[in-house]
Chains A and B, each alone.
Chain A
């Protein structure tokens, strides 16, 4: 006798696949924004399931800040080959060289905010009308109000007060010329759901997520990896620590956690016991209480 209900993970999986298929059915030129992080990896695997036995009918778009962990780039190239999917790269360095974006200076300089320029330019250049991303509503308070289908005006901006109501599972992707949508198929997943899914589906992930020895410094409570892009302050001395990363952002701003979790099981136990949110390790969110909301309004993910 079968049970006619799904586990929460299977229900979330079917929901995400439904959303991904809606995107391909409703838009002319969709793309998947791929950061190399676990959320966009899960999204790529869900996309494969959604269209099997056909190939994924949209490209992966990587906004390359030029400050990536080498492990992220290595993984990206492997995955593109594994899934047989097209890769499109938008380069922040190019935006800077063209004078479209201005590099920040100082010790906490980051290319995080510059990504918005490159992202919007890439969307415009390739005429993508829907860009899917792995953002989740549990990540941050401004994201808790995000729709699955998030309408962006011709400047790529998000207007939280004027969002379309989203009823049942009927998604309205109608738009004017020049406008586009951001779509978040795993909106309803939590960090734990993502890890459990990676575990049950046996999805390979970048080595960064597992505990390893690394040369780091500790600044304002954050453990940062040394890299050519991290300017050391006087008195900061790099030391070796056993760490892992909970998110895969830009190398100079993504904080590590001290951890000996070197398997998926151990990571899940660690996440379950964790008392800090994963974005707690991101310096970009700490700039102000509304840092994420402000960036989202201007077109950030």
Chain B
């Protein structure tokens, strides 16, 4: 058996106990080292706490430790004998939607925390909406602080019911629920002795067993060319390899392929992984492909199949999350980065803005400000070869880069 990698994102409001939960997962799965624990014990004592504040394990930077809040995405690692985990730990408060979107973009799973005393709050809606917008395939809702509601089953049931009612409006296919106390450790790694009424799995067990094999698209073959390998050596004089990371489907030597946007046809000759010749390649493998025919292919092209290929268009509909301090107006121009391609683009139309707390559409909008999410149309100078984000998170996503400052200013999901 080989270990798999599960990437998950955590989202919670301030004081939901998110950092404590992560600290608990790391601590109970024995992923904390002695010197890290000693440092946290010392800072807890310095702050005058009479317990070890596990949340301090995840507070990274000086400014955060001073303010006691997390201000950016931090990545944490732990492993069990079954899986390796990467946590994208993102802050919960409203001004950091951009961080949640960033953390969610690479996640297989979202952990959503709800304070059992408070039930669903605005931020629960916001986090769940972002998980759905970014098409995170799996969601686990942790009803936390059960110790503060006397481990009452009816409190938990009510929250589960409320969440199900709310989430029916979202596109998340796989939702699980678990009642926990991160502070005490109930149902996080170890089963709770206080909640006999709960027959389900612990949080860690869910994380270890959720089915992630189908999270990548293995049906629609897509290979964005990253780099052309030309050895310039006597031995490999005529070698022309197309290096890239498979974004979808399966490629095998002998397959007929279509290269976009040029439209040339050819056949796969060989597939290399390092010096090893492969009989097939699938997402997310980084390989080098050679073709039977000498055709002109460069970075930004996509190798697909003649009967199954991406759309090629210049007018593109997006859900856009604006991430920069400076707002954007209609006709704003950018560099558009999509897979390995960069083209110029312009914001043509803002169809509506979404209030991410109520999911209401706001129309007649001419400007987007930081952390706003909108349905927009852009036009690109050259066509993009894309899929809908729903079909493929790699060929369906793009970023906008400011032409002046070079900052990444927006994330787009192609509709």
The segment out of A119-127, A187-195, A202-210 that lies at the interface is A187-195
Residue of A nearest to B74 (CB): A144
Task: Please tell me if the beta carbons of A165 and B98 are within 8 angstroms of each other in the complex.
Answer: yes
How far is the CB of A42 from the nearest CB of chain B, in Å?
13
Is B86's beta carbon under 8 Å from chain A?
A: yes
Complexed CA–CA distance, A34 and B100 (Å): 34
Q: Determine if B72 and A52 form an interchain contact, defined as CB atoms under 8 angstroms apart.
A: no
Q: Are B406 and A175 in contact (CB under 8 A)?
A: yes
B75 near A188 with CB under 8 A, answer yes
**Are the C-beta atoms of B2 and A167 separated by less than 8 Å?**
no
Q: Please indicate the chain A residues that have their CB under 8 angstroms from the CB of B232 in the complex.
A: 54
Please report the C-alpha to C-alpha distance between residue A277 and residue B38 in the assembled complex, in whole angstroms.
12
Name the CB-closest residue of B to A196.
B3
Q: Identify the closest chain A residue to B342 (Cβ).
A: A174
Q: Is B264 an interface residue (CB 8 A)?
A: no
Residues of chain B with a CB closer than 8 A to A161's CB:
63, 71-72
**Listed residue (A10, A141, A293) with the most chain B CB atoms within 10 angstroms of its CB:** A141
Chain B residues whose C-beta falls within 8 Å of the C-beta of A145 in the assembled complex: 60-61, 72-75
CB distance from A111 to the nearest CB of B (A): 24
Q: Is B101 an interface residue, CB under 8 A from the partner?
A: yes
A92 interfacial contact with B, CB 8 Å: no
Q: How far is B398's CA from A49's CA once the two chains are assembled, in angstroms?
A: 27
Interface residues in A1-28 by Cβ distance below 8 A to B read 2-15, 17-18, 21-22, 24-25
Q: Does B79 lie within 8 Å of A172, measured CB to CB?
A: no
The reply to whether the CB of B35 lies closer than 8 angstroms to some CB of chain A is yes
CA distance A147 to B62 in the complex (A): 18
How many angstroms between the C-alpha atoms of A16 and B47 in the bound complex?
A: 40
CA distance A22 to B224 in the complex (A): 12
Is A215 interfacial (CB-CB < 8 Å)? no
A289, B75: Cβ atoms closer than 8 Å = no
Alpha-carbon distance between A8 and B6 when the two chains are bound, in angstroms: 8
B274 with A14: CB separation less than 8 A:
no
Contacts of B284 in A (CB 8 A): 6, 11, 14-15, 18
Complex interface: chain B residues within 8 A of A137 (CB): 75, 77
Which of A5, A7, A193, A280 is within 8 Å of B35, CB to CB? A280
Contacts of A49 in B (CB 8 A): 273-275
Give min CB distance, A271 to chain B, whole Å. 11
Whole-angstrom distance between the alpha carbons of A13 and B250 in the complex? 19
Interface string of A273-295 (1 = CB under 8 A from B): 01111001000000001100100
Are A51 and B243 in contact, CB atoms less than 8 angstroms apart? yes
CA distance A8 to B36 in the complex (A): 25
Consensus secondary structure, chain A interface: loop
User: Does A172 contact B406, Cβ atoms closer than 8 Å?
Assistant: yes
Q: Is the CB of B227 within 8 A of A21?
A: yes
Q: How far is the CB of A218 from chain B (nearest CB, A)?
A: 17
Contact-residue bracket for chain B = 35 or more
**In the bound complex, do residue B275 and residue A52 qualify as a contact, i.e. CB atoms below 8 Å apart?**
yes
Q: Does B218 contact A (CB under 8 A)?
A: yes
A243 to chain B, nearest CB (A): 19
- Shortest beta-carbon distance, B18 to chain A, in Å? 15
Residue B226 lies at the interface, judged by CB distance under 8 Å to chain A:
yes
A221 to chain B, nearest CB (A): 11
Q: B335 near A: Cβ within 8 Å?
A: yes
Q: How far is the CA of A11 from the CA of B245 in the complex (A)?
A: 11
CB distance from A141 to the nearest CB of B (A): 4
Is A234 an interface residue, CB under 8 A from the partner?
no
**Contact residues of B between 66 and 100, Cβ < 8 Å to A:** 71-77, 79, 83-84, 86, 98-99
A78-118 CB contacts (< 8 Å) to partner B? none
**Inter-chain CB contacts under 8 Å: number:** 183
A231 interface hit (Cβ, 8 Å): no
By size class, the interface of chain A is: 35 or more
* Separation of A52 and B43 alpha carbons in the complex (Å): 49
Residues of B within 8 A of A188 (CB): 75, 77, 86
Which A129-169 residues have a C-beta within 8 angstroms of B?
137-138, 141-142, 144-145, 160-161, 163-169
In whole angstroms, what is the CA distance A50 to B226 when docked? 11
List of A residues within 8 angstroms of B394 by Cβ = 168-169
Bound-state CA distance A277–B35 (Å) is 7
Question: B226: which of A18, A54, A164, A190 is its contact (CB, 8 Å)?
Answer: A18
Chain B: CB-nearest residue to A275: B34
Across-interface contacts of B4 in A (CB, < 8 A): 5-8, 11
**B335 pairs with A174, CB closer than 8 A:** yes
Q: Does B159 contact A (CB under 8 A)?
A: no
Measured in the bound complex, the distance between the Cα atoms of B406 and A166 in whole Å is: 13
CB contacts (< 8 Å) of A5 on chain B: these are 4, 212-213, 216
Q: Which residues in B have their C-beta under 8 angstroms from that of A21?
A: 226-227, 243-244, 286
Give the contacts of B214-244 with A (CB-CB under 8 A): 216, 218, 226-227, 229-233, 235-236, 239, 241, 243-244
Which B residue sits closest to A137, measured CB to CB?
B75
Q: Is the CB of A165 within 8 A of B99?
A: yes
Query: How many whole Å from B242's CB to the nearest CB in chain A?
Result: 11
A170 at interface by CB-CB < 8 Å: yes
Indicate whether A48 reaches chain B with its CB closer than 8 angstroms. Answer: yes
CA distance A293 to B66 in the complex (A): 14
Name the residue on B nearest A51 (C-beta): B229
B285 beta carbon closer than 8 Å to chain A: yes
With both chains docked as a complex, state the minimum distance between the C-beta of B305 and any C-beta of chain A, in angstroms: 17
Contact A54 B230 (CB under 8 A): yes
User: Does chain B have a CB within 8 A of A219?
Assistant: no
Q: 28 A-B residue contacts at CB 8 Å?
A: A2-B280, A4-B213, A4-B250, A14-B245, A15-B286, A22-B226, A25-B227, A48-B274, A52-B229, A53-B231, A53-B236, A54-B230, A137-B77, A160-B63, A166-B408, A167-B102, A168-B393, A169-B394, A172-B399, A190-B77, A190-B79, A192-B79, A275-B33, A277-B33, A277-B35, A277-B36, A289-B39, A289-B43
Those 3 A-B pairs whose CB atoms lie nearest each other, nearest first: A7-B2, A49-B274, A8-B5
Q: Which residues of A contact B (CB under 8 A)?
A: 2-15, 17-18, 21-22, 24-25, 48-55, 137-138, 141-142, 144-145, 160-161, 163-170, 172, 174-176, 187-188, 190, 192-193, 274-277, 280, 289-290, 293
- Supplied contacts A7-B3, A55-B233, A187-B75, 9 more A-B pairs, CB within 8 Å: A3-B213, A5-B216, A6-B4, A51-B229, A52-B229, A55-B231, A141-B60, A145-B75, A190-B79
